[in-house]
A and B are shown apart, each in its own frame.
Chain A
Amino acid sequence: KNEVEQSPQNLTAQEGEFITINCSYSVGISALHWLQQHPGGGIVSLFMLSSGKKKHGRLIATINIQEKHSSLHITASHPRDSAVYICAVGGYETSGSRLTFGEGTQLTVNP
C-alpha cells in the first residue's frame, strides 16, 4: 500500500462544477502539500498545510490530522483548472527532509 493515496485518479467535470480531490496518507507528517502540474509539465505549489484549512481564490485545502486525510476543493471550476493535482506529505516519519508523493489526479474541465 502506498504511503499516499489519491482519489479519484481521473476526474472529468463541466465548467462551473464544484470539484473535490481526496488524499489519504498512512504515516505521521509535519506538513501536507498540494501541487498542480500543468499540461506543459511545469509543477507549482498550491498549498502547504499542517492543520485546518487554507483558501486561495477558488481553491480550498483542508486537512484532518487525526483521520490522516486531506481534500482539495475547486469552486466554480474552469477549463484552465485542467491539470494534474498532486498530494505530497513530509516530515516526521517520512525521513526528515523528504516528500512522499501521490500518483496524482488528472482533472479535465470541459466548457
Chain B
Amino acid sequence: NAGVTQTPKFQVLKTGQSMTLQCAQDMNHNSMYWYRQDPGMGLRLIYYSASEGTTDKGEVPNGYNVSRLNKREFSLRLESAAPSQTSVYFCASSELRGAVGEQYFGPGTRLTVT
C-alpha cells in the first residue's frame, strides 16, 4: 500500500496563477484533510471531508477550494495564488467517519508563490 500520496512535491507559482494539489489514499479511509504548515505555527486545517460527498471549512479556508472526487481522492485548488499562501501543504486521511481517528499524512507539497 502506498498510503497517502500527494502531487506535486514542489511547486513555484507566480502571484495570480492557479493550481491544484492532488491527494489520494489507498486505505479505504472515510475522512480526508488538507493542512498547511508555516514556520513558528502549528499545522492548521484548511478544509476537510468527513466522508465521500461532503466537505467543510477548517480554520483557514480563504483562498482555497476543495473537491472530494471519490472516496480515494481529495484535491485542493488555489484559484489565484498569493504570496501568503507560500507554505508546506499536507494531506491526511483517517478511518473514522465524523470523528477523529489516527491520521495518516502524505509527504507534503512545498509551495512557493512569488
A and B found bound together: yes
Binding site for B on A (CB under 8 A): 2, 4, 30-31, 33, 35, 41-45, 48, 86, 88, 90-91, 96-104
Q: Which of B11-19, B41-49, B75-83 contacts A (4 or more CB under 8 A)?
A: B41-49
A-B contact pairs, 5 of them (CB 8 A): A33-B103, A42-B105, A44-B105, A45-B102, A91-B100
B99 located at the interface, meaning its Cβ lies under 8 Å from any Cβ of chain A in the complex: yes
Question: Which residues from B are CB-within-8-Å of A96?
Answer: 50, 98-99
Are B90's CB and A98's CB within 8 A?
Answer: no
B88 located at the interface, meaning its Cβ lies under 8 Å from any Cβ of chain A in the complex: yes
How far apart are A54's CB and chain B's nearest CB, in angstroms?
Answer: 12
**Chain B, interface SS category:** loop
Are A99's CB and B102's CB within 8 A?
Answer: no
**Chain A, interface SS category:** strand
Are B42's CB and A97's CB within 8 A?
Answer: no
Question: Once bound together, how far apart are the Cα atoms of A88 and B35, in whole Å?
Answer: 13
Are B99's CB and A30's CB within 8 A?
Answer: yes
B58 located at the interface, meaning its Cβ lies under 8 Å from any Cβ of chain A in the complex: yes
Question: Once bound together, how far apart are the Cα atoms of A84 and B100, in whole Å?
Answer: 22
